Amino acid sequence: MSAADPVRLPAIAFLGAGSMARAIIAGLLQPGVAVDGGIRTTNRTAEKAAELAGLDGVTAYATETDVAANHAAVAGAALVVVAVKPAMVPDLLREIADSLEPGTVVVSVAAGVTVETFESLLPDSVAVIRSMPNTPAVVGRAVTGVSAGTRSSPADLALAVSLFETVGQVLVVPESQLDALSTISGSGPAYVFYLIEQLTAAAVDKGFTPEQAAVMVQGTFRGASELLASTGDDPAELRRRVTSPKGTTERAIAVLEASDLKQTFDRATDAALARARELAAGA
Ligand X SMILES: O=C(O)[C@@H]1CCC=N1
Q: Please choose which of ligand X, ligand NDP, none residue 70 contacts, taking the beta carbon within 5 to 8 angstroms, the exact cut-off set by kind.
A: ligand NDP
CB of residue 82 to ligand NDP, shortest distance in Å: 8
* Of 1, 8, 19, 231, the one binding ligand NDP by CB under 6 A: 19
Decide: is 15 part of the binding site for ligand NDP (CB under 6 A). Answer: yes
Q: Which residues pair with 37 in a beta bridge?
A: none
Question: Which CB, 182 or 200, lies closer to ligand X?
Answer: 182
Question: Which CB, 48 or 119, lies closer to ligand NDP?
Answer: 48
Q: Cα–Cα distance between 112 and 64 in angstroms, integer?
A: 27
* Of 35, 83, 186, 200, the one binding ligand X by CB under 6 A: 186
Task: Judge whether 163 and 77 are in contact, CB under 8 Å.
Answer: no
* Of 60, 81, 107, 109, the one binding ligand NDP by CB under 6 A: 109
Q: Please choose which of ligand NDP, ligand X, none residue 17 contacts, taking the beta carbon within 5 to 8 angstroms, the exact cut-off set by kind.
A: ligand NDP
Decide: is 185 part of the binding site for ligand X (CB under 6 A). Answer: no
Q: Cα–Cα distance between 119 and 110 in angstroms, integer?
A: 14
102: which DSSP letter? T
Task: Judge whether 70 and 100 are in contact, CB under 8 Å.
Answer: no
* Of 42, 114, 183, 200, the one binding ligand NDP by CB under 6 A: 42
List of residues 6+ apart from 184 with CB closer than 8 A: 269
The dihedral region occupied by 17, where left means phi > 0, alpha psi between -120 and 50, and beta the remainder, is: beta
Decide: is 107 part of the binding site for ligand NDP (CB under 6 A). Answer: no
Question: Which CB, 152 or 182, lies closer to ligand X?
Answer: 182
* Of 58, 69, 100, 111, the one binding ligand X by CB under 6 A: 111
What letter represents residue 54's amino acid? G
In sequence order, which ranges of the chain are alpha helices (DSSP H)? Answer: 19-28, 46-53, 69-74, 89-96, 115-121, 154-165, 178-181, 188-205, 210-231, 235-242, 248-258, 261-280
Question: Which CB, 82 or 203, lies closer to ligand NDP?
Answer: 82
Please give the size of the binding site for ligand X, defined by CB under 6 A.
4
Question: Which CB, 100 or 137, lies closer to ligand X?
Answer: 137
Element housing 59 (H / E): strand 58-62
Q: Cα–Cα distance between 200 and 193 in angstroms, integer?
A: 10
Decide: is 200 part of the binding site for ligand NDP (CB under 6 A). Answer: no
Task: Judge whether 13 and 79 are in contact, CB under 8 Å.
Answer: yes
Which residues are at the interface with ligand NDP (CB under 6 A)?
15-20, 42-45, 48, 63, 70, 83-86, 88, 92, 109-111, 132-135, 186
